Structures are given as structure tokens and as C-alpha cells.
Structure 1
Amino acid sequence: MRLFAASLLLSAFATPAFAQDSDKPFEGASATAITGVDFTSEPGNNATGVIYGGQLGYDVQRGKTVFGVEGEVTGSSSKGCGGSAIFSYCSKQDRDLYVGGKIGRVVGDSTLLYAKVGYTNNRLTGSYVDNTTTPATSGSGSNVLDGVRGGVGVEQKLGKSLSLKAEYRYSNYEGSYSRNQGVVGLGFHF
């Protein structure tokens, strides 16, 4: 009985928060599938791959101004190798976590131009081969890097619940590591 009462109470408060207002097309919760191009750069190694993942967010619209928060989990096919015949290494993108905020301006009735900034956390996996020893030694491991991401984008409503977005974002991590990404996303608004 308590579970039923708690569920009823939660739905009473949650329903108005997720309702779409036609005067505020960008207000509310959203879930977006994203994909795009991922350019990574670290000392002595650059790589290009495909980024893929998902984003959850919530926006508040006041007049033509939109404020939002979002979280994101992505993976990437980006992998780079470097070194020489004596010592070689490869590193691969594992996962990237992001949480941040955005501010934007509605243009016309259904287009949002926005800028975003937040915290990003990237995990790399890598391997190496050292031919200076006999026999050659090799190893592998992972490294987690903290950083800051900034970006700009445009989101176009395709109806009451669907939208299409395009973003450019730059992430700068500790250890002289960075990423440039161009992504597109298909979002569903609750």
C-alpha cells in the first residue's frame, strides 16, 4: 500500500514537470541519441574516430531564453598508435562522461541556438611494447583524465516531441590531451 501511495504522489508531482507547453517548445526533459566525428590529440599521437552515445537533459524556457542541464555518456572508435621500432604504444578511447549546463536563445518558433560548458571525465586504455629488453616487454592499462568541455550548437524541433541537433564541442583534459568533436543528435522530449 505504501508503494502505491508513493507512486501516486510521485506521479502527481512529476506529470506537470514533464508536460510540453506549446508556448515553450524547449522546456522539459529530453533524451538524445548522438553520433559524430571525434578528433583526439595527445602528445605524439593524433587519431580520428566515430563518437556514439546518449544525452539526458532538462531545459527551462523563459521567454526566448533557455537554460538547461545535461549529462552524457559516450564511447568512441578513436585509436592512435605511435613510437618507433624500439618502443611503440597505442591508446584507445574508452568512455567519456560529461555533466554541464547550457544557455540558449530561441530563434523563430522552433530553432534553439545555444552554448554549453561543463566537466568531462575521459578514460583511455592503452598498450605498449618495449623492444629494448630481451625478450621484449609489453603491458597495458588505463588512465582517467579530468577536463572541461565547451561547445556551441543548434537544435531544431521536428514536431512536439522530436528534435534534431548539431554541435561542435572542444574538450581540454589534463596532460595536454584534447578532443574536437562534431556531433548530430536525434532527441525525444517528454
Structure 2
Amino acid sequence: MEYIVKTLLISAAVAATVLSAAPASAQSVPTGARIEGLVGYDRVKFPGDHAGGIFGGVGAGYDIGFGSSAFGVDVEGTLATTDQEYLGVNVKAGRDLYAGGRLSFALSPSTIGYVKAGYTNARVKVDGFGGDNLDGVRVGAGVQFLLTGSTYVGGEYRYSNYEADWSRHQLALVLGTRFGSAPVAVEAPVVAPAPEAPAPAATQTCADGSVILATDVCPQPPAPPAVAPSGERG
């Protein structure tokens, strides 16, 4: 138990460091209740060996916002197909229960990052010898992307360390929805307005019928031809 408490304290310190280093954002993180399903790859370290398999399950949580971040609580239950022959005996990873906390922060108007840590309890089954429950701690990090409304999809990495020299690495694909909170607003792209067409230049029509700019001066009309004076009669 002392090991679990120390690990959780270290995880909380790491989470606080990550949160303080996250970029500041005016966009708030979604809050309220959420429920999600997850599936992914499970890599278990048995005493003296490793094995891989598929795991899946469901989770739920609740987030409370503060500024551009949120603190949440998580609960989760999963099952795995991971098993391995060890010394002629089949060893199988059974159900896994988790409860912990998370810190979330906005990466963009539609993207949320988070770190998590908590307590996990895994069931181990050994053919011919029954099974046992192993206490442990879990730390992880993930990213969520808003799809439509309050629905989101995300990816998560988590590492769990149990007593009796058991541990596991997991990569999960997460699909979830939120209740009781406004969805993250997706900002529309900024489109520059089209330049206005220049106004036509003002013109004027001169006496000779020519059209010129209003700021120009019409040409002077030609002078009338000179008339020769008529001669005197004697």
C-alpha cells in the first residue's frame, strides 16, 4: 500500500507539471458527466515473460471546470484476451477495475489533452490454481477530438504496475459522449472578404464630342478662320 501511495503522489506531481506547462487557451474544457467505450492492445508482463492480447470495456466519469482546464474522476472496467503458457500452466489476465482522477486542458477549440492517475485492481487466473487479485497503480495520457455535438473520439496510452511483479502497457481507442454540458465550440475558419471593385472614374463630354476624365480640362475649340477684308471701289 505504501508503494501505491508513493506512486500516486509522484503521478499527481507529474500531472500538475504537465498542466502548468500546457499552452494557455481561452477555450474552456467540456465539463459534466461522460460515458465511453474503449478497445485496444494489451501488453502484459508476467513474472519472467510477456504476452499480448486485445482488451475492451466501458468507462464513466465527471469533470469540473476551472479556467481553461478541468479536474475529473474516472471509473472503468475492462476484460482482456491476454494469456500465456508459463512453466506448463496457462496464466490469463482477467478483469481489470480502475478508479482515479484526471486533469484536462484545451489544445485547440476542438481538441482536449489530459493526464490521469489512479488505483487499479486486476484479476489473474491460473489454470488449476484458481486466481488472485492484484493491487496496482495506473498512469496515462490521452487526446480527445470533438466529432459532432457532445460525441468525441480519442486515443490513450496507459501503464499499470501491480504487485507480484506484474505490469501492463495499453493503447486504447476511445469513443464517448458527454451529458449536461455545452459541447466544445468549433471555430469557423476566417475567410478574408473579397476586395471591392473600384468605382468607375467620373467623366465629362467636351464640346467637340470627346469624353475625358472629370478632372481633366476639355480642349479649347479651334478659332474661326480669319475673313479677308473686301477691297474699296473708286
Q: Is the 8 A contact 1:45 1:81 kept in 2?
A: no
Q: Is the 8 A contact 2:136 2:162 kept in 1?
A: yes
Report the number of matched residues. 153
- One-letter code of the match for 2:98? Y
Secondary structure of the residue that 2:91 maps to in structure 1? strand
**In structure 1, C-alpha distance between the alignment counterparts of 2:65 and 2:148, rounded to whole Å:** 17
Q: 2:157 aligns with which of 168, 172, 178?
A: 168
Secondary structure of the residue that 2:54 maps to in structure 1? strand
Partner of 1:36: 40
Q: 1:189 aligns with which of 178, 183, 202?
A: 178
Q: Is the 8 A contact 1:115 1:153 kept in 2?
A: yes
**In structure 2, C-alpha distance between the alignment counterparts of 1:39 and 1:188, rounded to whole Å:** 27
Secondary structure of the residue that 1:159 maps to in structure 2? coil
Q: 1:26 aligns with which of 25, 30, 51?
A: 30
**In structure 1, C-alpha distance between the alignment counterparts of 2:157 and 2:73, rounded to whole Å:** 17
Partner of 2:85: 81
User: Percent of aligned positions with the same letter in both sequences?
Assistant: 39
- One-letter code of the match for 1:66? A
Q: Does 1:120 align with 2:124?
A: no
Partner of 1:159: 148
Partner of 1:179: 168
5+ unaligned residues in a row in structure 2: which ranges?
1-26, 180-234
Summarize deviations over 1:56-108 as a string: whole Å, max 9, x none: 0111122211211010000000011122xxxx111111100000000021011
Partner of 1:10: none
Aligned-residue offset at 1:156: 1.0
TM-score, structure 2 length as denominator? Answer: 0.63
Secondary structure of the residue that 2:129 maps to in structure 1? strand
Aligned-residue offset at 1:25: 5.1
Moved over 6 A (4+): none
5+ unaligned residues in a row in structure 1: which ranges?
1-22, 128-138
Larger of the two Rg values belongs to structure: 2
Aligned-residue offset at 1:45: 2.4
TM-score, structure 1 length as denominator? Answer: 0.77
Summarize deviations over 1:115-134 as a string: whole Å, max 9, x none: 1000000001111xxxxxxx
Q: Does 1:51 align with 2:55?
A: yes
Q: Looking at both structures, which has the greater relative contact order when contacts are Cα pairs under 8 Å and sequence separation is at least 6? A: 1
Secondary structure of the residue that 2:96 maps to in structure 1? strand
Q: CA RMSD in A?
A: 1.2
Partner of 1:143: 132
**In structure 2, C-alpha distance between the alignment counterparts of 1:125 and 1:183, rounded to whole Å:** 23
Q: Is the 8 A contact 1:25 1:110 kept in 2?
A: no
Aligned-residue offset at 1:42: 1.6
Task: Select between 23-32 and 179-188 the one with higher mean Cα deviation.
Answer: 23-32
Aligned-residue offset at 1:160: 2.0
Aligned-residue offset at 1:50: 0.4
Paired residues for 1:51-70 under 5 Å: 51-70=55-74
Secondary structure of the residue that 1:156 maps to in structure 2? strand
